[in-house]
Chains A and B, each alone.
With several copies, the nearest count.
Chain A
Amino acid sequence: NIPTGTRKVNLTSWHHDKGQANLSNMTFSDGKLIVNQDGFYYLYANICFRHHETSGNLTKRGLQLMVYMTKTNLKIRRSEVLMKGGSTKYWSGNSEFHFYSVNIGGFLKLKTGDMISIQVSNPLLLDSSQEATYFGAFKVRDLD
């Protein structure tokens, strides 16, 4: 179930064990990946937005299609955006179908208990197929 509107929203309904999704050595709860071991992780997300003219007229309107990856640290009750990406779009009225994908990735230090989540703008435009919209993390090595 995808939230409506163009506002920035938290995506919570991810498959974590179906299809290509995998989960090990991390916990998944309420749309958040929770870190179980301190370390340096590579975090990434790929988000696809799409619109077909049959879903209504979106053209001639400025859109900003964005993804944000956020870390929440419960100890200091703080959330900060780790990475962001996206594009403003001004889709022309001539085509019946519009598509845009954004990819973000980075190598970051995470601590046990850190929670990683994804926010997007315009959730109604999300292409929610598993090859289009996904995110993840893998541990590269321990902290120094």
Chain B
Amino acid sequence: PEFALPQVLGSALSLQSTLPCESEQHYEYSGRCCKKCEPGKYMSAKCTETSDSVCQPCGPNEYMDVWNEEDKCLLHKICDQGKALKEVNPGNSTFQRQCACTTGYHWNEDCDCCQRNTICAPGFGIGHPVQQDKDTRCMPCPRGYFSEVASSTDECKSWTNNMLMVLSFLHLTGTNKILYVLI
């Protein structure tokens, strides 16, 4: 039986003669489907009717992390000590360098700078997990724990540790009253 092509409103179906060229690793140029340059390289010359693309390796302090037709590699960022940044991954020709703020600071996208970590008020301690380059999360001390200092690094301390401290303090001072120890 005759198959009737479904009538598609407003557009005409055309049989696709060749496979689509544009893809992650290919590009169309001068009527040909040519290969892009692999990560770690840039394209110093596009393909022609008779020759393939010419790719060159990225130079020092440069990278390219995708297949590309770029005429230059990208420049690694600077982990600027003067902005309290340190290098956490030097990167290479296919992977961008990674920086993070020094201890006590976290990267703030809005000011493009390392901001001081929040200081938790007494009665609060830092929440876990403590993440590098992330601001402190202050959590109210749960029952059985306390914090008497303002700090961006201290956790809440449990009573039990401190009851022993109080006892030893009283012992030293010769007080004969024995406190009822809560375990």
Query: A residues within 8 Å of B by Cβ?
Result: 6-8, 15, 18-20, 50-55, 64, 66, 75-78, 80, 84, 88, 96-97, 99, 121, 124-125, 127-130
Contact = CB atoms under 8 A, between A and B. Distances in A.
A55 B59 CA distance: 31
B113 A18 contact: no
Contacts of B84: 52-55, 97
Interface size, B (range): 20 to 34
Contact of A18 (B61, B78, B81): B61
A128 B78 contact: yes
Given A18-B59, A130-B75, A75 B81 contact: no
A8 B84 CA distance: 20
Which among B62, B68, B70, B83 has the highest number of chain A CB atoms within 10 Å?
B83
A66 B70 contact: no
B114 interface: yes
Contact of B83 (A8, A78, A97, A121): A97
Nearest to B112: A66
A49 B62 CA distance: 24
A50 B102 CA distance: 16
Contacts of A121: 110-111
Which among B78, B80, B111 has the highest number of chain A CB atoms within 10 Å?
B111
A7 B112 CA distance: 11
Contact of A50 (B59, B83, B115): B83
Which among A53, A88, A97 has the highest number of chain B CB atoms within 10 Å?
A97
Interface of B is mostly: loop
B102 A54 contact: yes
A128 B80 CA distance: 8
B110 A75 contact: no
25 contacts: A7-B109, A8-B109, A18-B59, A18-B61, A18-B62, A18-B73, A19-B72, A52-B114, A53-B84, A64-B110, A64-B111, A66-B111, A75-B70, A76-B68, A76-B70, A78-B74, A96-B113, A96-B114, A96-B115, A97-B115, A121-B110, A121-B111, A127-B80, A129-B77, A129-B78
Contact of A97 (B59, B75, B102, B114): B114
Contacts of A97: 83-84, 111, 113-115
Contacts of B74: 19, 78, 80
B155 interface: no
- Nearest first, the 7 A-B pairs at minimum CB distance are A19-B75, A97-B113, A64-B111, A54-B84, A52-B84, A8-B110, A7-B110
A21 to B, nearest CB: 8
A101 B112 CA distance: 14
A96 to B, nearest CB: 5
Given A52-B113, A54-B105, A129 B66 contact: no
Contact of B113 (A15, A20, A99, A128): A99
A75 B43 CA distance: 13
